[in-house]
Amino acid sequence: IITNGETTELCENGTPRLSLVTGTGCMVHALCASYSAVTDPFTAAVLSVSTMGICGELAERKSEGLGSFRIALLDALSLLSDDDYTRLLKLREV
C-alpha cells in the first residue's frame, strides 16, 4: 500500500521471497531515489515498489533457492523493459 495521504495505491505485485533476501528494501530505496530524479515523490514510490514486486515475480519463476533468487532478481532489475512493466503491473487505486 502506497499513500500520500490523499491518494492510495495498492500494488499486488511481489512474492514472499523478497522478504527473505537481505537488501531488497535498500534496493527499493535506491529505485525510489532514481525515479525521484524524474518524477514526483508519490509516483516515484509507486514505481519503485511495483518495479521490485514485478522483478521479484520474474525472479521467482527462474530460481530454485534463495541464492538463485537473489541473482535472478538482479537480472530481472537489469532487464526489465517498459513493455514488461506495463504488461505485468498489478496496481489499483483504493
Q: Determine, yes or no, domain membership for 32.
A: no
Cβ proximity of 51 and 31 under 8 Å: yes
Q: Determine, yes or no, domain membership for 5.
A: no
Q: Determine, yes or no, domain membership for 24.
A: no
Q: pLDDT truncated to tens, each residue of the chain (94 aa)?
A: 999 999 999 999 999 999 999 999 999 999 999 999 999 999 999 999 999 999 999 999 999 999 999 999 999 999 999 999 999 999 999 9
Which range marks the domain in which residue 77 is found? 41-89
d(Cα 2, Cα 40) in Å, to the nearest integer? 14
Counting the structural domains of the chain, the total is 1
Q: Give per-residue pLDDT as tens, 55-81.
A: 999 999 999 999 999 999 999 999 999
Q: Determine, yes or no, domain membership for 12.
A: no
